[in-house]
Amino acid sequence: MTDSILSKAATMEIPINSNGDSRTAEDDSLEQDLQQVMVSGPNLNETSIVSGGYGGAAEGIIPTSSIKDIRFKSRGITPSHSATSWIANQPGHYPAPSMHHSNSHPSMMSEEAAKGVAVEKFDSVKKWSINTYKCTKQMFSERFGRGTKTVDMELEAQIDVLRETKMKYEHILRLARELTNHFYNMVQTQQALGDTFADLSQKSPELQDEFGFNAETQRLLCKNGETLLGAINFFVSSINTLVNKTMEDTLMTIKMYENARLEFDAYRADLEELSVGPRDAAAMVRIEMAQQQYQIHKDKYERLHSDVSIKLKFLEENKVKVMHKQLLLFHNAVSAYFAGNQQQLEQTLRQFNVKLKPPGSDKPSWLEEQ
């Protein structure tokens, strides 16, 4: 049986056509059928390959025409665009959107905005660096006696007096707070002592009158002490407002004025240095820019000079008015208390419109004690 199979295999012949291809009649008929299909219906150029599986997004559709076009171009053949137009007219076909313009436009806008911010920051840092350099140079020149300084002797004297006055008033404020703290503790001790005397007057019949007199005296002293404590608290509050708000505000304006004076002198010295140099085209441009900066800082200096003069004048008037009232209140209240004149003490508080706080609220806060 094996010999018969081998003999058949040996006698089998493979038909060869005229071109040497091993094709049969069935292959020729199949090729004719395929050509008819390619002519009558959509060919491979009119199909598409979907990436991502069934139900994928429209962007995943890859037309096979691009693949076939590459093959055609490699052979020197120009394919027709009928397949492309046929696909575009088919229902359910959604061409992939072009993402190039939609992504590039916002990105370009964001890049331009970032560049604008960076340029603005660079300019501000550059201006700050130049200004700092000029001011530092001017400050060292003044300290070593090589530079000139714009000085208003009258205004400088008033500023020195203000700084000295503020230091003295701060000392008064610190002592007044210590007095308030000590006097509050004394009033609390008097109140506790009076309560103890009153309790013993009821429990000691043989000393009832003596304990009772002392209890009444301590209660009266405690009441007058609370009244005086209200006057001292009002005095402390007014001095604190004058020192830490009114004077401090004026000193802040003075600090701005001193900085403006230093900048003015720095740009004035820069302009003077450029004016004695060469007068070529580049130098004239630098001189013109220096002249503009000099004028800007001169206007700023003069404006702050005027502000400081006005504030010093109003501060002096306000200081005299406030201290006249507060010193008179402090004197009358302390004198009436230690004289034992309760009516005069209460009249003093009414005269200066001082309202007493509830008992137990006169003790300064922890922040005020520091």
HSE (side-chain half, CA atoms, 13 Å) at 151: 7
pLDDT on residue 28: 55
The candidate with the shortest Cα–Cα distance to 160, out of 152, 172, 150, 171, is 152
- Say what the pTM is: 0.60
pLDDT on residue 241: 95
> For the segment 308-319, what is each residue's pLDDT rounded down to a tens digit?
999 999 999 999
Tokens of 144: 């070593």
312, 250 Cβ separation under 8 angstroms: yes
Residues of the chain with pLDDT under 50: 1-22, 24, 30, 34, 37-88, 93-94, 96-102, 360, 362, 366-370
Per DSSP, what are the bridge partners of residue 50? 61
> For the segment 3-39, what is each residue's pLDDT rounded down to a tens digit?
444 444 444 444 444 444 445 455 555 455 545 544 4
Q: What CA–CA distance (Å, rounded) separates 316 from 242?
A: 11
**Angle in degrees, 0-180, between the axes of helices 208-241 and 153-203, rounded to the nearest 10:** 160
pLDDT on residue 31: 52
Q: What CA–CA distance (Å, rounded) separates 170 from 241?
A: 11
Q: What is the per-residue DSSP string for 258-281?
A: HHHHHHHHHHHHHHHHHHTS--SH
Domains of the chain: 154-350 (1.20.1270.60)
Tokens of 223: 């009441």
